[in-house]
Structure 1
Amino acid sequence: MSAPRVMNFSILWASLVDPSKMFSMALSLASSPVPTITPGGSFYPPLHSLSYITDNKQGTFGGVYNAPAEKPTKDHSGDYDYCTMPHPSPKSYSAPTPVQNHSVQAQLVYVEYMQRHQRRTPYNILPGGEDQPYECDNVFPYLYSGPADGDQSRASLPVYAQTYTDNTNPFVTGYVNGSCQYPQLTLGGVLDGHQHGRDLWAVYGEKMGLLPSSPKSPKVWFRSSSSALTQDSAGAVLRGIWPDHTGPLPLHQQAASVDTVNQGFSCAARDKLLSNIQSTEEWKRHLEATQPLRHRLATLFKANTTDWMSSFDHFADNFQARLCNGYRLPCSLSNSSACATADDAHEVFRAGDWEWNYWWHRNQHASQYIQLTEGLFLREIVKRLGAVAQGTLSRVYTHNFIHDGDLGPVLGALDIQQLRWPGMGSNIAFELWKTSNAQYHVRVLYSGHALRTAHGTLDWVPLSRVVDWLKPHVPDDIVSMCKS
């Protein structure tokens, strides 16, 4: 798993595609043999078994890993779609089962919503260099500040960053040509964000009557990490929810060095624990099982380094970013006919899923690792849910724009059945419902579906029980724990 990720630019994107290779790649991905999977079942593969990684018959296990370069992603509301994960939408959303069948009368009174940023360019550029340029000239990533009083006579010029390559720069050789900062949102990612927001309004605004007509209402509150990826996603999604709003909005952030999301605060114990997790016999067995693939990729892309070989984080990130934005898989710079194949990509993705499940769910130190990574954010969630139930918080909606490394531990704390890598735009909704006799129940949606966990499907659970599940992952003294 990569270290905390920070970038400095907002974005949209343009792609340069090799049409023939892109078509064959998409066809291969679409036609891969996979087991029969029930609706929503593609979220829960058999990640307890190492054979899941190396069995090519598993394919993508119903997962979708391709999307157009400059268009929104197609609706795959019933599937695990890494490029743009499903979210609550008017087509698929319904009330919890007891409310729907009228066995109880209840009203939705609060939603704690968290989502990963939308699709983007890669964090990880191949060590040997990239054989395709990434182009981002179809967007103006604005970079300016202005006085809070709105005085137009002192307003800043709306300058934007335009990335370019100087042909005298010797470091460009072995990197990647193009006009992008890495990572950054793509045009497809921004368009997906708009649709994400429109669907949230259709569900929580029009259908449920929860959201106010203006985002300036004190009943709503927005938060992001300090990364421009989450900030840019917020702008797109919130525009989708409130398309007619004019003027600026506050997007709350904690200082980057002490942020309770995106591993903002330093914690030596957390880093040491991750090293221990990745030194277990089970972790070593998964590396041994994938040795042929790792050797092949290391040779193709000059990637025989610890960062690229110790987990599948870097290769999965590189391949996902390509396929989710209309690019093909990479080829060797020294031999254009030696390329990563669809089978290679599928095994990389399956191995990435296995690793995420191991980090946050299967390993014996998972609870402590969640405490050290996400315990403070979990405390914030528990506090807000309790405050709404106690009548001390009048807010109806909180939207957190965060990262995969935040969603993973939240899902682990809820004891998800199997945890695949949370894809782009992945989302968790804690819906708080108040019954006619003033009892509070929670429904937890993961990417639009009631979450399947070791506790059962979280369609209708007393608030107190959800709090009981989360509290063990909230540290009593994180400062002391991190120093230990």
Structure 2
Amino acid sequence: MSFLIALPSLASAVVSSSHVLYRTFYPSSINSTSWYSNISPSTYNDSIYQTNTYTSATNAPYGTYDYCTMPHPRADVYQLPAPVANGSVRAELVYLQYIQRHQRRTSYNSLPGGENQAYDCDNVEAFLYASPNGGLPQPQPMHVFGKTYTDPSNPFAANYVKSTCQLPQLTVGGILDGFQHGKDLWSVYGEKLHFLPSVPNSKTWFRSSESVLTQQSAGGVLRGIWPYHTGPVPLHQQPEAVDTTNESFECDRRTTVLSEIENSTEWQSHLEAAAPLFNSLSWASQNESDFTFSFNSFADNFQARLCNGYNLPCNVKNLSQCATMAQAEEIFRGGDWEWNYWYRTNPQALLYTQTVEGPFIAEIIQRLQAVQNGNSSIIYEHDFLHDNDIGPIAGALGITALRWPGMGSNIAFELWKVRGGSIYARVLYSGQPMVTIYGTLDWILLPELIGILQPYAPKNIVQICNNVTNS
């Protein structure tokens, strides 16, 4: 049963201003390198980057930028589109595409100067098995799971941190967060709007990237949505070599454009502003370029620690010398600046987004057009992806300021059909209508939304990636 609002008559499309929009989602000063070197907009005062190992929720006000557990649709705070809520239209929710980053994990980037803390994943069982199709008369496999260890005789492990985790790996907090994320989605789209089916069926479609992180997140979130469902659920993935998500498909132009972006005057100026900070952390980075040409590696290392109950790192040769929260805050603000520059403010943001996410944005457009044309058999698609999918999609939508998409960050495309046949869209970013250069995307005709996305999904993307210029 779909959610139907019976109200007087159709009014013209409006942009909502009724939702509470927290300023930390859209900081106006993010375009300047002073954003991360100035302590006055301290991220720690109005944002969260720290939680406990087993915590699956936050006590912060809803809508707070919480890198460890980003806000998402939740029944107690979910609001209907403004024209529906204020009585201007009669509308029915007919389609939902929900795109999210995986839940929290260990780090990708270990410090070249050494790690004084090892991640512990003995509280996680990462299952690894395959099964013949249910129709085949074969025994079911043993439910084996991966348990990471380091053999003391391994000659390559002498300087490697003795962790019981694969890096990266979903942590127990990430798994628990996934359950809660799914429960909250059901509270909105299942209980409140009566939109989701009682079990996954032919009207639902689930997809992940090739990464185990996204696949494991899917298991947690979908269990939260359907806690009593039995039986397997297909999670669709494209072949890794041509996957349209997670920058998996080959694209030489992407590398070229990124190099041009990161050699621009603006990028070099931001590195100059960051030099004192990087110098103060040289004991951790050993001045390796991965840690000094971008905030990405330091931010990843610090974020993963703080989001899973660990401390900031210390110098393995001098344990009294440790990274400080003030340094971490500056690192995080610097990461925000870089994401905003990559996908919003640099002159090549359009081309770069095309080469990173163009094929997947094209898939989003195709899904939306299928609903518009009455050709969609799917009412609910859920895509489990990465920050480097969420970021470019948000950039393509014209988000006014793009901070680093945190763990579990999400974009929801809701399509509402009004009496008379027109379909309107709204886009929620981490649970609230996205604020963009086009206005707040709370109620927009579907063709207009498609028009916003269309330039980022060129039909000649293969030629663009191969550096072929059409005459």
Q: TM bucket by the smaller chain?
A: over 0.9
Indicate how the Cα distance of structure 1 residues 179 and 152 shifts in structure 2: closer, same or farther if over 3 A, else same.
Answer: farther
- Secondary structure of 2:447 counterpart: helix
Give the match for residue 162 of structure 2. 177
Matched, 1:407 2:398: no
How far is the alpha carbon of 1:141 from its aligned partner? Answer: 1.1
Deviates more, 1:135-144 or 1:246-255: 135-144
Correspondent of 2:85 among 73, 77, 100: 100
Matched, 1:136 2:136: no
Give the match for residue 248 of structure 2. 264
Contact 2:361–2:457, Cα closer than 8 Å, also in 1: yes
What is the identity, as a one-letter code, of the residue corresponding to 1:291?
Answer: A
Matched, 1:389 2:376: no
Matched, 1:470 2:449: no
Matched, 1:72 2:56: yes
Matched, 1:427 2:410: yes
> For the residues of structure 2 that align with 1:452 and 1:381, how far apart are their CA atoms?
20
Give the match for residue 227 of structure 1. 211
> For the residues of structure 2 that align with 1:302 and 1:168, how far apart are their CA atoms?
28
Correspondent of 1:114 among 79, 99, 102: 99
Correspondent of 1:56 among 39, 46, 57: 39
- Secondary structure of 1:58 counterpart: coil
What is the identity, as a one-letter code, of the residue corresponding to 1:347?
Answer: E
Indicate how the Cα distance of structure 1 residues 304 and 150 shifts in structure 2: closer, same or farther if over 3 A, else same.
Answer: farther
Give the match for residue 436 of structure 2. 453
Structure 2: segments with no counterpart, 5+ residues: 1-19
What is the identity, as a one-letter code, of the residue corresponding to 2:25?
Answer: F
- Secondary structure of 1:338 counterpart: strand
> For the residues of structure 2 that align with 1:162 and 1:133, how far apart are their CA atoms?
15
Matched, 1:40 2:22: yes
How far is the alpha carbon of 1:432 from its aligned partner? Answer: 0.3
Give the match for residue 240 of structure 1. 224
Contact 2:208–2:385, Cα closer than 8 Å, also in 1: yes
Give the match for residue 197 of structure 1. 182
Matched, 1:351 2:334: yes
How far is the alpha carbon of 1:57 from its aligned partner? Answer: 2.2
How far is the alpha carbon of 1:153 from its aligned partner? Answer: 4.5
Matched, 1:158 2:143: yes
Contact 2:37–2:273, Cα closer than 8 Å, also in 1: yes
Q: Percent identity?
A: 53
Matched, 1:398 2:381: yes
Cα displacement string for residues 249-304 of structure 1 (whole angstroms, at most 9, x for unaligned residues) = 10000000100000111111110100000000000000000100011112x21431
Moved over 3 A (4+): 150-153
What is the identity, as a one-letter code, of the residue corresponding to 1:305?
Answer: E
- TM-score, scaled relative to structure 2: 0.93
How far is the alpha carbon of 1:365 from its aligned partner? Answer: 0.3
Aligned residues: 445
> For the residues of structure 2 that align with 1:479 and 1:392, how far apart are their CA atoms?
27
Matches within 5 A, 1:333-344: 333-344=316-327
What is the identity, as a one-letter code, of the residue corresponding to 2:148?
Answer: T
> For the residues of structure 2 that align with 1:131 and 1:162, how far apart are their CA atoms?
21
Cα displacement string for residues 295-323 of structure 1 (whole angstroms, at most 9, x for unaligned residues) = 1112x214311111110100000000000
> For the residues of structure 2 that align with 1:39 and 1:410, how far apart are their CA atoms?
20
CA RMSD of aligned residues (A): 1.2
What is the identity, as a one-letter code, of the residue corresponding to 1:82?
Answer: Y
What is the identity, as a one-letter code, of the residue corresponding to 2:420?
Answer: N
What is the identity, as a one-letter code, of the residue corresponding to 1:475?
Answer: P
Structure 1: segments with no counterpart, 5+ residues: 1-37
> For the residues of structure 1 that align with 2:157 and 2:357, how far apart are their CA atoms?
37
> For the residues of structure 2 that align with 1:195 and 1:450, how far apart are their CA atoms?
21
